[in-house]
A and B are shown apart, each in its own frame.
Chain A
Amino acid sequence: MLGAFMDRMKEPATAEEAPAADAASFERFFEAGHARLLRALFVVTGNADEAEELVQEAFLSVWERWDRVSAMEDPTGYLYRTAMNAFRSRLRRAARAARRVIGLAPGADAFAAADERDAIGRALAGLTPRQRAALVLTEMLGYGSEEAGRMLGVKAVTVRVLASQAREAMRKALGDE
């Protein structure tokens, strides 16, 4: 097992080894997809810093595999799967909603701090991270529950349940409009 794992670790070529043409195509890929991924992850995490870190982590990972990813049918889908993997890893490693460290004022959940006027923020604050992730993937990004399930590491039915719970909670929090 360790051998297979280490083989995987040796695969990615460093970005410095990629030809200039590949670097240019990656930069175009980045410019085309960066903002949308960042906004989606912001809605999922409720934390601007964390969203930026996850976006950077995902793009770095894709860049190191760009020679293969660029040849895929859906490089953007791969990017989102990578981002969701990173998100899931964070949830597992440190199940802290906020960091009690000084000097990290933006670290608080932006939705948890939503005031009375921000009904949407308060509605999102009432969702769990997984519910938000399922909602963003299906409603905001338009992925089907099968694909969203692969990204979140759960079955499609679980995605539907999570998204349904999220929609219901949002509906109750915001009222029928």
Chain B
Amino acid sequence: MSDLRGVLEKVGRRIEPREDAFDRLERARRRRTRNRKITAGALAAAIAVSGIVGVSVAFLGGEQITPGGQDGRVVALWPEQTMAEIRRTQDAVDAGEESLAWRLDLEATAKRFVEEVLGWGDAIVTIQLFPGDGQGAVAEITTPAAPCPTPAEGEPIDPRCPGRKVEVSLVGLLPPQGVWSVLRVEGDRIRFDPETADGLSVDETVRAHVDLPAGAQALGGGTFFGDGCTNSFSTETIAESGVLRLSIPTGECAVTSGYVFAYVVGPGSAGFDEDPMDAEQLYAPDPFGQRVEVLDLTAMRVNLGPTPDAEATSLPEETPTTAEESPPPDEEAVPDVAEVVCDPSVTQYSPIRVRPQPDGVHIRVTNGLDRQISVMIDDFGSEKVEALGSKERVESIPPGETWLRCYDPENAGPDADPAPFVRVLIEVADPDGLWKSTELECASDTILEGILDYFAGARGVQDPLEAARTLDGILPTDAVELARYPESEPPMVRVVRDGKVVALFEYIPDGHGGWLLSGTESCGDVGIG
């Protein structure tokens, strides 16, 4: 491929800049500067609750300082909504209140949220932490598929059958060891436009685009707070995919902040016809009973008016900084064995950071299932792990990220590969610089490759480095050294000439403690191999 840059430029020209691009930028700037700037990455999450269905009841609980007034704006969705309320909870936790200890646990907070607000008692939580300052995270929360009768031919599958998924953004608003609060909820089937609501004014509208499965319904609403007053609204119910219009309410109550939401409910939900404040209906044990069943939810916080609270918050922005401003990561704290549990009921933080050992990256996988599973590491293949057993793999994974996936062979259909039941990102940090690159740095585009084969019983060399130094084309000034990690097996040798990697030699074990040269790769113009 002679001109990759030209190829990419050609692809780039498939998109044309809009003629009014700068005008659009100016309009966006004006929207953003209506309030004091939060950040480009702010995730305002609000769940409008009051007066709609038990979703609301679960949020507001029983007590409460009214948000929006003297106590400040809505800064979070759940459990508390204002900084005053959050501080009160924090004080109680700091004083040792046992019943609130779970608020310091990120996973517990995320799980409690979906249990109490959505009624999802069997949630699987995967956490992704934001790096850098601040205490922010996104929890991906899924539920397993429910046992489901096969629909009649031509009939759609009951939307309550497949698993459900939401992403919940959480933040600790009182670091360093603050209680966790839910900032935003993002469902799989609902998208807000605009995606964030900073800068909206009264009577503006958030459009909730809903992709409804057959048989389900959706509705939305909002609750906004002024000084000592509340204004709530709800939308019509829709039974087909479409748009719900969430309009910021006007009226006697001069609202300053609040939240909007939209959610999807399963077929036959009785809550619309009965008392919407009857929370008991939400949590009946029979998933196919006649009750309101929340299948999906998207919600976000909204702050209106010219001057948000100084403590109005967002998730930390990753502002580009100079190298001098960026504190280095704490490399000493990175473990040298990555622990992964292949168990869907166990929450794992992703990515999992690990530092290599001299022989490579160690990943210990524990199988939480009572049957054998298969564990795949991208580019390094699959290995089996026995039921309820553990296996430690050592792989020459280069610095950077790679995916590990756990597969349950029992989930495979006759014609399809199973989907992984656990997927974890592994991040290899190499503070000691153990990794020696295997990337050729050729002046020309020509690369020579060779594959060697042997008769059975062939014997190799004991020292692949010494053997490589005797190959044709190696100069006395070339550096011949082990590539990958110092003790990677099988070994790979690289040749460095004038500071550039110009050749690679791969070896395989001969079965007698020695090594056979199995493959070569070299730049076409260096005359090696």
Cross-interface CB contact of A15 among B29, B38, B210, cutoff 8 Å: B29
How far apart are the CA atoms of A150 and B321 in the complex, in Å? 10
Knowing A35-B17, A40-B12, A60-B28 touch, does A162 contact B1 (C-beta < 8 A)?
A: no
The answer on a CB contact under 8 Å between B134 and A150 is no
Query: Which residues of A, 21-61, contact B by the 8 Å Cβ criterion?
Result: 27, 30-31, 34-35, 38-40, 42-43, 48, 51-52, 56-57, 59-61
CB nearest neighbor in A for B189: A100
B11 pairs with A120, CB closer than 8 A: yes
- Give a binary string over B278-298; 1 marks a CB under 8 Å from any A CB, 0 the rest: 000000000000000000000
Residue of chain B at shortest CB distance from A96: B188
For A8, the chain B residues whose CB sits under 8 A away are: 317, 319
Q: Mark B1-24, 1 if CB is under 8 A from A, else 0.
A: 110110111111111011001101
Knowing A1-B134, A158-B400, the reply to whether A6 touches B310 (Cβ < 8 A) is: yes
- A93–B37 CA distance with the chains assembled, in angstroms: 21
Closest to B13 in A: A39
Nearest residue (CB) in B for A17 is B33
Query: Roughly how many angstroms separate A55 CA and B401 CA in the complex, as a whole number?
Result: 26
B156 at interface, CB cutoff 8 A: no
User: How far is A143 from B209 in the complex, measured between Cα atoms in Å?
Assistant: 39
User: Distance (Å) between the CB of A125 and the closest chain B CB?
Assistant: 11
Interface flag for A126 (CB, 8 Å): no
Given contacts A48-B15, A51-B15, contact A171 B28 (CB under 8 A): no
Query: Is there contact, CB below 8 Å, between A161 and B8?
Result: no
**A15, chain B: closest CB distance, angstroms:** 5
B interface secondary structure, majority: loop
Contact A2 B174 (CB under 8 A): yes
Q: Does A103 contact B (CB under 8 A)?
A: yes
- In the complex with contacts A63-B29, A85-B320, A99-B191, A170-B40 CB distance below 8 A: no
- B120 in the interface, Cβ–Cβ < 8 Å? no
Q: Which residues of A contact B400 (CB under 8 A)?
A: 154-155, 157-158, 161-162
Contact B7 A56 (CB under 8 A): no
CB neighbours of B209 from chain A (8 A):
101-104
Please determine whether A60 and B29 come into contact, CB atoms closer than 8 angstroms: yes
A40 → chain B closest CB, angstroms? 6
Interface assignment of B205: CB less than 8 Å from any CB of chain A: no
**Complex contact A82–B11 (CB within 8 A):** no
- A85-B40 Cα distance, complex, nearest whole Å: 11
* Chain B residues closer than 8 Å to A101, beta-carbon distance: 189-191, 209-211
With a CB–CB cut-off of 8 A, which chain B residues contact A82? 320
Interchain CB contact under 8 A, B174 and A140: no
Question: How many residue pairs bridge A and B at CB < 8 Å?
Answer: 163
- Closest-by-CB residue of A relative to B192 is A101
Whether a CB of chain B sits under 8 angstroms from the CB of A64 is yes
Q: Which of B5, B12, B135 has the most CB of A within 10 A?
A: B12
Query: Interface size for chain A: under 10, 10 to 19, 20 to 34, or 35 or more residues?
Result: 35 or more
- Mark each residue of chain A from 154 to 177: 1 if its CB lies under 8 Å from any CB of chain B, else 0: 110110111010010011001111
Q: Which residues of chain A from 105 to 122 have a CB within 8 Å of any chain B CB?
A: 110, 120-121
What residues on B are CB-neighbors of A42 within 8 Å?
Answer: 11-12, 14-15
Q: Does B225 contact A (CB under 8 A)?
A: no
Look across to chain B and name the residue whose beta carbon is closest to the beta carbon of A111. Answer: B11
In contact, A139 and B2 (Cβ under 8 angstroms): no
Q: Does B439 contact A (CB under 8 A)?
A: yes
Contact bitstring B165-179, A, C-beta under 8 A = 1, else 0: 001010001111000
The reply on B128 being an interface residue by CB < 8 A is yes
Taking CB atoms, residues of chain A closer than 8 Å to B8 are 43, 135-136, 139-140
Out of B1, B135, B174, B310, name the residue touching A176 (CB < 8 Å).
B1
Partner of B430 from A27, A64, A124, A155 at Cβ < 8 Å: A155
A-B contact pairs, 12 of them (CB 8 A): A34-B17, A34-B21, A57-B40, A64-B29, A64-B37, A85-B318, A85-B319, A86-B41, A102-B241, A124-B11, A136-B8, A140-B5
Chain B residues with CB under 8 Å of chain A are 1-2, 4-5, 7-15, 17-18, 21-22, 24-25, 28-29, 32-33, 37-41, 43, 128, 130-131, 133-135, 138, 167, 169, 173-176, 186, 188-191, 209-211, 241-243, 310-311, 316-320, 323, 398-401, 430, 435, 437, 439
Top-3 shortest CB links A-B: A39-B12, A158-B400, A81-B320
> What would 20 more interface pairs be, CB under 8 Å, given A104-B209, A161-B399?
A2-B134, A2-B174, A15-B29, A15-B33, A27-B22, A43-B11, A43-B12, A57-B40, A86-B41, A88-B318, A89-B318, A93-B138, A93-B167, A100-B189, A102-B241, A155-B399, A157-B435, A162-B400, A167-B4, A174-B1
